Each structure stands twice: as C-alpha cells, then as structure tokens.
Structure 1
Amino acid sequence: MKHMEATSMQELGGQSSKADDENLARMGKRPVLKRNFGLLSMLGFSCTILITWEGIVVLFLQAYSNGGPAGAVYGFIFVWLGVASTFVVLSELASMAPTSGGQYHWCSMLAPPSGMKLVSYLTGWLTVIGWQATYATSCYLCGSLIQGLIILTQKDYVPHNWHATLLFWAVALFAVGINCVGGRLLPRFEGFILILHVLGFFAILIPLTYMADHGTAKEVFTQFLNLGGFPTQGLSFFVGLVGCVFAFAGGDAAVHMSEEITNAAVAVPTSMMLSVLINGSLGFGMLIAMLFCLGNIQQSINSPTGYPFMAIFLQATGSVAGTAVMASIVTTMGITTSVGMLASSSRQMWAFARDRGIPGWRIWSQVHGGTAVPVYSVLLTTVIVCLLALINIGSAVAFNDLVAMSISGLYMSYMVVAGLLLYRRCTGGISKTANGESAVVNTAGATLVWGPFHVPGIWGILINAFALIYMTIAVFFSFWPPSWQVTVNTMNFSVVGTFGVILLSLIYYVIRARHIYNGPVMEVF
C-alpha cells in the first residue's frame, strides 16, 4: 500500500512538472533547472528570506529613534499593510508568468512595444542592484552579529572592521557550499530552517517577556520620539520606517526560484502571501515584546556589541550565557537566510544573463548538468558581495548604505511593474483565458492572460494603487539620512550607489546591450 501511495505521489509530481514545463514553454522558455521545491519547502524559503521578527530585533532602533515606541508600532502596521498589498501585485504577476526573470520579464510583457526594450532592461538592472545589496547586507549583518557575540562573551577582545569582513566572507562561503551541491539539499534545508524560524521566536519571546521589567502600555502606544532632530514628528516617523521596510526585504525571492518549483503558478503566490502573514504576525509580536522590555534604553544604545538588542537581552536575563544563547538564535537564522538569498540572487542574475542583459552573459547563463545549478552565476554573485565587503574595512557607515540600496533597488523594480499592471488592468489589456492551449502568452509581444491567482475588479485596482503609494513612500525615504543635521557619518550615500549603477548600465546599453538585448529571448517556438 505504501509503495502504491509513493508511486502515485511520484506520478502526480511528474504530471505537475510536465504542466509547469509546458507553461514555461508557452512563455518561450526551455526548462533547464530541476523542480525540486514543493509548496512547503518554498514556504520555508520565503519565510526564512524575510525573517521579519529577527530583522525587527536587529534593526528596531531605526524606528525607535525616529518615531519612538508608538511610531515603531504604527509604522510597522503601515509597512505590513503596504508589503501585503505589494505582495498581492507580485503574486498576480508571478501567477501570470512564473519565470526566474521576474520583474524585467513582467515589464517586457506589460510595457508598450515602443519602450519595452529599455524599460525592461533598466528594471532588470534595478533588480540586480536590489538583490546584490540585500545579499551583501545579510552577510554583513551576520558577520557583525558574530563579532558582537565575541565582544559580549570575551571581554579582552579588541574588535576591528576587517574582522567583520572576514566573518562576512565565511558566511558567504557557507552559502556557496549549500547552493552548489544542488539536488534536494536546498529544499530540505529551507524546510528545516522554517521550523527553527518559528521555534526560535518562542525561545526568545518567552524568556524576554518573563524576566524583563516591563514598561507601560501608555509609553509603548502613545510615546513618539524625534531623536533625529527633524523639523516635524511626521517627517521623523516616515524616516524611521526604513527599519521596518528592510525587515520585509526580499519578498520576491520565491519568484526567482519559479523554474525550480512544481505547480509554480499556484505555489509561488501562495508561499509569498503566507510568508507575509506569518512573518508579519511574528514580527509584530516581537516588536511589541521588545518595546515593553526596553529597560535602560540609553545603556542599550551604547552597547559595545554594536547591537542594542544584546544589551536589552542582558538586562532582562542578567546572564551573559543566556544572552549569548538568545543572540545566537538570531545570528543563526541570519546565517541560514544567506543561503536562500544567494540562491535567489544568483537565479535572477542567471535569468537576466540568459536574456543577454549582463556583460559576459554566455558564461553566467550556463547551467551545470550534474547539479542543475547555475554555478557560474552563484560564484559571480559571491565574488561581487565579497568585494563589497571590502568597503566595510574603510567605513562601516558607507557599507550601511547598502540597506537603503536594497530597498531602493527592489522597490523601484516593483514600482515599474506595478504601474504597468495598473495601466493594463484599467484598460482591459489582460484576458481571462488564452486562445488555444499552445498559444504563446505572457511574454514580450504576446497575449496577456491572468494566472490562477488574481484579484478581480475594483479591489484589484485599489490594492494595486495602494501598493504604488506605499512603495513611493518607501523609496523616497530610503534615501534620507537618519538625522536632520547631516555629517559624513550620517550622510546616506545610497542614492549615489543606486543611480551610479543605473548610469553604468545605461552606458553599457548604449555601447553594447541595445544591439543584443531585446527582452526575453524566445528559446521555444
């Protein structure tokens, strides 16, 4: 009986993979990656890319400094709603065209023919910027968290910036090892990490709330702060949103794994929407707990570890060992997240190279048959972030601007496709069904057809419009410094990095890419 059940499951999986490959062929793409992910493993992948409650623990000071406890609470709710609406838009697009290319592919199918090529190309580079910055920031935070743990437990340790860079490289090498093995290791790894993600939340929440001295509800829900010295409290509030926005960074991770998931048109949107529900709930719970258990916040801000949350844990537990265990959970989750971020970053890079949008595309678009992994793209992504880590040796402040580049790059790519989708849905440019089972759909110049995940009518338009408003706010304030009085140490240079890469990509477009990049390449006719 068990053998018959196993055989039936294999047949069902084979049928799903065949249907996925047929859908991919209808978008002009040839299946070359193995579909090792299912819904549960992809849910683990999506949830542990976001790791919102861990991000809130590490970065909550940004919202606290500009906004205060009340600003952090209401800012998180606003961001959560904005992210959820953004995920709805991305889920609709992923359901229409589940390809690893993601944003630039969607842009090519939605944009008018006259501007498709350039807009799609720029959207691809915005996504590259966003994902490379997100992955680099993840590795940097992991390296500095490990360094913070050493400072916490070893009183005679003298920290240096280059120590964090070496730890950064160690995290990156760990991610490379998991990614390059291929097969079913990565899906199983992500499913296991999902369990740790949920259990780790309670392992920190319970001792923190039980052992710490608690503030009052009035302090948490009514006290606003403007430690950045901005002219108005409202401006300070919006600047403080950046920490909450970054805690949800990487929402399109599942999109770039679409060609490795069975039943991708359903599984990708489902995993994305469940991940924002699960992570938002855990993140909000952890934020409330942190705000009630702040203790002496000034002492925490001046913590030698560089992370106030470690000082908050120490004040609550009164134990260095207990604090180290709790902080290690956060650090471990950060390290494991780097594995998924490398996978998503490299797949997006690989897909863009496959469509000839990146210099050296013939190399980066190769897939190694034994592992069915784009190893060269994995290695290229690793080399890029390891070179970015050298910035930290000269200035940790300059490297911190990658957080803002992550937000600006990804969110600007979301904004382009969300704006085009809103235009198409308002003008009736998307059909409910395709004409013929073999018709080419949802690619440049082809018929547009809604996927299984779709919010119809006025609700779809309203959600789409709100997502655009939220993303505009997030991008605009991602370029702001954390204080009104700007110095070299507080200046936000991310606008230079973001638009500098865009300028370089435009130069490459004029010199070379405009002759070879025409949007998604039709590999299947």
Structure 2
Amino acid sequence: MSTDQTAPTAAGRKHTIDETALHVTSIFTKKGEHAVLDHTADADEEVLVALGYKQEFKRDFTWIESFSVSFSVLGLLPSVASTLTYNLGYSGQAGSIWGWIVAGILIQSVVFGMAELCSSMPTAGGLYYASAVLAPEGWGPFASWCVGWSNFLGFATGPCSVNYAMAAMILAAAEISYPDYVPQTWHLYLTFLLLLIIQGCLAMNSTKFLGYVNIVGTIANVIVLVIFVIWLPAGAINKPRFNDNHTVWVDVQNGTEWPTGWAFIMGFLSVIWTMSGYDTPFHLSEECSNANIAGPRAIVLTGQLGLYLGFAIILVIAYTVKDVNDVVAGAYGQPMASLCVQVLGKNPGLAMFALNIIAQFFVGQGCTIASSRVVFAYSRDGAIPGSRWWSQVNSRTHTPVNSTWFVLLIAALLGLLMFASPVAIGAVFSIGAIAQYIAFVTPLGLKLFFAGDRFKPGPWNLGRWSNPVGAVAVAWLLLIVPALCFPAVKGKDLNDLTMNYTCLIYGGAMTFALAYYAIDARKWFKGPRVNVEHLIYGQNAENTGSGSDNIEPMAEKS
C-alpha cells in the first residue's frame, strides 16, 4: 500500500492490494488478479504480498548490510587473484587494463538494469520472477524455468569455485613456507571440504548474525584491497620498480592461438567472473527493510565500487608484474602467490598473499548465503527436485538452513572435478560466469522486447534511459557468451587437458533442465507459485481457491 492511501483497516478486515499504487510489476497483474490481506502490514510486507508471497523472513538487513553481503560476494582482490590466468595470460598487461575498462563499463548496463528490476519486483526469486512476469503471453513458465535454472547453476557453482580457489591458495601458501612440501590433490579436496563445512556452520545462523559477519567481511576486503594497492608499488623489489607506459597501456600480448582481438575479448572472463555478485541484494530483498529502494542502491553501489576499485587493482598489477609467464604458470599453481613473491619477495609476498586468503574466506561466506536464498526461492515455487526440503525456513533462525547445506553438497560434488584435471575444475569458473550473465540479461531482454507497458517501474528507475541501457546489456551478452566457451589453443594443441569444458558442463546441465521441462515439468510448473490469499476473477481465494467473506477493497481493480 502506498503511503498516500487511506490508513489500513483494523486487523481481521480483509482488503485487496493495488499493485499499481505500490509501483510493483506483479504476477497478479498478468493474471488479472489481486492479493488480499487480512491484517495491518508495513510497506515492505504489502509489496511482497502484492508480488504473491508471504513474509517468512525477518527483515533484519539494512541497505548497508545488504550491500555488505554483495560486496563480500564481489570480493574484488580475491576474485581478481582467482582469475589472473585469464586476463593477464590471454592479453598481457595492456589487455588487462583495457579489458577491465571496456568490460567493466559495459557491465554497468546490466547493473543498472537489474537495479531497476529489483525496485519493481523486490523478491528473493529475483530474475526468475521477473522473467515470468515480463515474458510474452504463454511463455512465462518456460522463461522463468530457463532463467531460474541458469541462475541456479551460476550460484550452485559459486561456493565450489570460490572455495576451490581458496583451498588452492592455502596450499600455495604452505608451499611457499615449506619448499619441500608437495601438495596432493586429496590435500586440496580435504581443505576444500573443511572450508565448506565452516561456511555452512556460519551461514545457517540468523539474518542479524549474518549481517554482522558480512559487515566484518566487507571491512576486511576493503582493508586488504587498500594494503595491496599501496604495498605492491611501494614495496616492489625489482629494478626498475615499474613497467613503462607502453607495456602497460599499448602492448597487448596475445597468450592464445587465436587472433589478438579475440584473445582480448576472451580475457574479459576475469572481469565477468569478478563482477558477478551485485545481484545478491535482489535475492536478499525479502530480508531487507525498505527493499524497493535499499536493494537497487546496494546493487548499484556494488557495481560502481567494483568498477573503480577493481581498476585500481588491475592498474597496480600491470605496473608491477615483471614476468607474466612466471605469474600465470608459476611453480605454486596460484597466479596471485607468484605475483606477490615476484614483486615483494618471499616473506613480504607471503604476508600479502595470506591477507588475500582472509579476504577470500568472506567471499565464500557471502556466496554461500546468496546461493542458499536462490535455492530457497526456486524451491518455494517447486522448480528444483526436492523442493519441499529446500524451501523450509528454520523456525529458530528464520533462515533457509536446508538450502544452505544443499548448495554446499553440490559444491562438494562439483569439487570432485579437481581429480579429473585442473582444466575440468577450472571450467566451473566459466560456468558461473556464463550461467549468471544469461540469467542477468534475459529478463532485461524480455522487458526491452516484449513487456511493453506491463512493466511498472518501481520508485528507483532509469526513466527514459531504461530501454537504451537494456539494449546495451543484451548486446553485451551476445558478445561474451561465445567468448566464454573458447579454449586458449586450437588445432593439434587442443586436447582433453586444454579443452574449454564450459559448453559441455553448462550445456549438459541446461539440456537436462530443458528435457525435464519438456517431459514432465511443463505439465505442472506454472512459474512463481502464489502462497497468499488472492482474488481470482472477482472471487476470493487462498492459495488453491478456498473462499472467504468480509473483503474491504483498498483500491479499485484495474
């Protein structure tokens, strides 16, 4: 209910909700229905009910705490550290610099477009819900199914990729400290499992506790980033200390067997994977107060800080790295470890690398929280096998504990790919990137080409810039999808260890999802599943259609 409407009726008097007055784009509007409330509710609950969902979480997140979770997921320095092989290895220092500028700016179109969607549809389902509402008539369930599964795959691989990278960092630090130590794959996997268990034990707690943890994580990430940006150039031991401007800004080095221009685009993977946590406030909107304003603000702030602070990191790396090959294919198996040791020396480099590991832990923690909310939202609508388990909210913590452990189980199983080959487990990074951006941009494309006046802008919106921003986001997706699927080599150099498995793993998972839909799910899956009392063609219904009397309209039906 908007603030300019008449005061709510007394508890027990039922009244319909006017979605237009609340500035939301609801599944009810598409069906010609309205939600019904039988009690006095605050603005956040009324918006959520207008979207078709009961208030099940405590709204203990402020916009700062919502931002802190997304910034933790973003994890700029650890994320850049995890993917240096791609931007630095594919196109050198100059390619890294210009790659971050080009890709980072284009990604802002997705950031701002998503913020606008969040303001209009602040629900944990996020992109999946938006796709159902904005798709052409009759295509809503299929669109939401595809986007939901793609977003699910992106988030399900997140805890795996982040914690695999962290486990590898821990063993690399041990190798630097003890040169005689030789890491084994099973060492890596057990470390990886331990990290998953620790993060699960933290992520299963209350929203208020998680807010505090992620504020600490955000502060830690910012402090480590500032230390890195200052310490690397100030403590560099090489002579000359910095690379010349031509090397940093002009000389694009092609580290692939493809044309230089395409190698430059392939290097976008580092930026894409790093800049993929800003949708988290969307999924946390049911736990955030003033969600249709706070969520978009948190999304935009995350995207903007990611662009500028990430560029500072890349700039420092480009000016201080001396031997790119040693960093990309160094003895420790971790580019950031090799970089820190190369630039700062063994002991200072190890100290800087250790700080990076601490920051990486909070990235994994934020990723686990966000992933569990995505699984909960899709399970609430029956879109994932075992939904009745994953959609349960713990009565003590008021958080989706079951879905938290479910995403960590998926991560543990995906982690077994490390026993196949480094390339196989490395494909998880590409899958996360391609799955997330397909999910990010698809609802923007649906809004641009099909929604028309069915999209109702929320209180935070782009105005006349909405369609141009959406068009840039769609063009960006069409550019990066093929680039994310290319291997670095071709011809006789292409084998089972150098192949890019993104197409196989992501394509296989989505093929399963589409087959599941075609064979069975299309018969029962109808998109977001309304769980609040609502009017159906003038008749009152509760969930499946039970009627009741004594309804007091709060607004005229549209």
Give your verdict on TM over 0.5: yes
Work out whether residues 257 and 488 of structure 2, in 8 Å CA contact, stay in contact via their aligned partners in 1: no
Q: 2:386 & 2:344 partners in 1: Cα distance?
A: 53
Work out whether residues 89 and 255 of structure 2, in 8 Å CA contact, stay in contact via their aligned partners in 1: yes
Q: 1:411 & 1:298 partners in 2: Cα distance?
A: 30
CA-to-aligned-CA distance 1:179-223 (integer Å, 9 cap, x gap)? 112241100111111111111112122221012221111110011
Q: 2:371 & 2:266 partners in 1: Cα distance?
A: 27
CA-to-aligned-CA distance 1:2-24 (integer Å, 9 cap, x gap)? xxxxxxxxxxxxxx982111100
Secondary structure of 1:184 counterpart: helix
Aligned partner of 1:465 in structure 2 is 471
Q: Match of 1:174, as an amino acid?
A: I
Q: Match of 1:373, as an amino acid?
A: T
Aligned partner of 2:507 in structure 1 is 499
Q: 1:371 & 1:279 partners in 2: Cα distance?
A: 31
Q: 1:323 & 1:99 partners in 2: Cα distance?
A: 43
* Aligned-pair CA distance for 1:424: 4.5
Q: 1:227 & 1:163 partners in 2: Cα distance?
A: 31
Residue 450 (str. 1) matches residue 457 (str. 2): yes
Aligned partner of 1:394 in structure 2 is 420
CA-to-aligned-CA distance 1:305-343 (integer Å, 9 cap, x gap)? 11232222223222x332222111111111111111111
* Aligned-pair CA distance for 1:511: 3.8
Structure 1 residues 326-475: aligned runs within 5 Å? 326-424=352-450, 427=452, 429-430=453-454, 448-457=455-464, 459-475=465-481
Q: Match of 2:515, as an amino acid?
A: I
* Aligned-pair CA distance for 1:113: 2.3
Work out whether residues 88 and 328 of structure 2, in 8 Å CA contact, stay in contact via their aligned partners in 1: no
Q: Match of 1:453, as an amino acid?
A: W
Q: Match of 1:136, as an amino acid?
A: C
Aligned partner of 1:216 in structure 2 is 244
Q: 1:240 & 1:369 partners in 2: Cα distance?
A: 46
Which one has a bigger Cα radius of gyration? 2
Q: 2:143 & 2:329 partners in 1: Cα distance?
A: 46
Structure 1 residues 133-152: aligned runs within 5 Å? 133-152=157-176
Q: 1:504 & 1:305 partners in 2: Cα distance?
A: 37
Q: Match of 1:450, as an amino acid?
A: P
* Aligned-pair CA distance for 1:301: 3.4
CA-to-aligned-CA distance 1:405-460 (integer Å, 9 cap, x gap)? 111111111232111111256x4x14xxxxxxxxxxxxxxxxx4211111112x22
CA-to-aligned-CA distance 1:264-318 (integer Å, 9 cap, x gap)? 1111110111111112211101111111101233333342211232222223222
CA-to-aligned-CA distance 1:441-486 (integer Å, 9 cap, x gap)? xxxxxxx4211111112x2221111111112212221111122342
TM-score (norm 2): 0.85
Q: Match of 1:142, as an amino acid?
A: M
CA-to-aligned-CA distance 1:93-112 (integer Å, 9 cap, x gap)? 11100111111100111012
Aligned partner of 1:271 in structure 2 is 298
Aligned partner of 1:86 in structure 2 is 110
Work out whether residues 129 and 409 of structure 1, in 8 Å CA contact, stay in contact via their aligned partners in 2: yes
Q: 1:299 & 1:334 partners in 2: Cα distance?
A: 23
Q: Among residues 165, 170, 177, which one is paired with 2:194 in the alignment?
A: 170
Q: Among residues 65, 81, 89, which one is paired with 1:57 in the alignment?
A: 81
Aligned partner of 1:283 in structure 2 is 310
Aligned partner of 2:19 in structure 1 is none
Between the two proteins, the alignment pairs up a number of residues equal to 488
Work out whether residues 60 and 287 of structure 1, in 8 Å CA contact, stay in contact via their aligned partners in 2: no
Dislocated runs of 4+, deviation >4 Å: none
Residue 316 (str. 1) matches residue 324 (str. 2): no
CA-to-aligned-CA distance 1:216-275 (integer Å, 9 cap, x gap)? 111100111112121x21111111111121111222122111111111111111011111
Aligned partner of 1:295 in structure 2 is 322
Q: 1:17 & 1:482 partners in 2: Cα distance?
A: 56
* Aligned-pair CA distance for 1:498: 1.0
CA-to-aligned-CA distance 1:384-419 (integer Å, 9 cap, x gap)? 111111111232210100111111111111232111
Q: 1:238 & 1:522 partners in 2: Cα distance?
A: 42
TM-score (norm 1): 0.90
Structure 2 gaps of 5+ residues are 1-39, 535-558
Work out whether residues 161 and 396 of structure 1, in 8 Å CA contact, stay in contact via their aligned partners in 2: no
Q: Match of 1:505, as an amino acid?
A: A
Q: 1:98 & 1:503 partners in 2: Cα distance?
A: 29
Work out whether residues 283 and 374 of structure 2, in 8 Å CA contact, stay in contact via their aligned partners in 1: yes
Aligned partner of 1:227 in structure 2 is 255
CA RMSD, 1 decimal: 1.6
Q: Match of 1:489, as an amino acid?
A: L
Percent identity among equivalent residues? 25
Residue 193 (str. 1) matches residue 207 (str. 2): no
Residue 239 (str. 1) matches residue 266 (str. 2): yes
Q: 1:170 & 1:86 partners in 2: Cα distance?
A: 35
Aligned partner of 2:522 in structure 1 is 514
Work out whether residues 159 and 408 of structure 2, in 8 Å CA contact, stay in contact via their aligned partners in 1: no
Q: Match of 2:521, as an amino acid?
A: A
* Aligned-pair CA distance for 1:76: 0.4
